[in-house]
Amino acid sequence: MSEELFVSSENGVMVFEMNRPEARNAMNKSMAEAISVALDKFEADDEARVAVLTGAGGTFCSGMDLKGFLRGETPFVKDRGFGALTQYTPTKPIIAAVEGYALAGGFELMISCDLVVAAEDAQFGIPEVKRSLVAAAGGVIKLPEQISPRLAMELALTGDFISAARAYEIGLINEVVPSGQAVAGAKKLAGRIAGNGPLAVAASKKILRESSAWEKDKIWGLQDDITKSVFSSQDAIEGATAFAEKRSPVWKGK
């Protein structure tokens, strides 16, 4: 798609590889815009069921490109936030595959994904306070929703890094794999998702993402609004039929 973002697709899984290894994949304006275009392509492609976001050269993303910042660039996309993802989520699942560092804005990109697979030697953190800055691209907003608020407070106020083992222990990531195997692990997880009904996957993601903000007396009605079209879909009939016939279902997304 561009020199700064490689995009590939296989077996329903689309991979976005941030490609600025000389800068530890620090996010600049052009890479953010390339991610935005890739996300649109992902959403529009009926064959693409899951996306994987990763970085080239053994690093996920080290945050904002400070050289670009000094030139007056900001790596934000209108209505989508840092890296085109911190204020936006596609309807389909996206998995972060983390090698090396996921720091500052890179960490915020990671926690904006739905699932995370990380190498055993990966490091995570929001060190902005060490430079008298704030993790304002979603770190201090999203982190308390994903882990214990007290642990989120510790990470935000100390700026300290944590290991993959610690990140897994506190529920921040889904799986730890050997170094160099993050993309392979993410693809394996993506394959487990891609084999399921795409309408049901999208509806489940939407409810999981949004229901915590719903008023308690409206949750069932709001859930019904999302799920009723899934239960009446051709794919729902196909799922039941395939089960009865002891075969794999053939999804049409309808």
Contacts of residue 65, defined as CB under 8 A and 6 or more positions apart, other chains included, come to 20, 23, 26, 27, 28, 73, 75
Select from 197, 188, 111 the least CA-distant residue to 152. 111
CB of 34 closer than 8 Å to CB of 4 = yes
Q: Quick one: CA dihedral 69, 75, 76, 81, positive or negative?
A: negative
**Secondary structure class of 27 (helix, strand, coil):** strand
Q: Which of 3, 99, 108, 245 is catalytic?
A: 108
Contacts of residue 206, defined as CB under 8 A and 6 or more positions apart, other chains included, come to 91, 226
Q: Which of 128, 154, 175, 245 is catalytic?
A: 128
Distance of CA 6 to the CA centre of its chain: 17
CB of 38 closer than 8 Å to CB of 16 = yes
Note if 108 is an active site residue.
yes
Place of tokens 């050997």: 178
Q: Tell me the sheet residues that pair with 15.
A: 8, 52
Q: Tell me the sheet residues that pair with 90.
A: none
Alpha helices in 164-211 (DSSP H): 164-169, 182-194, 198-210
Please give the positions annotated as active site: 108, 128
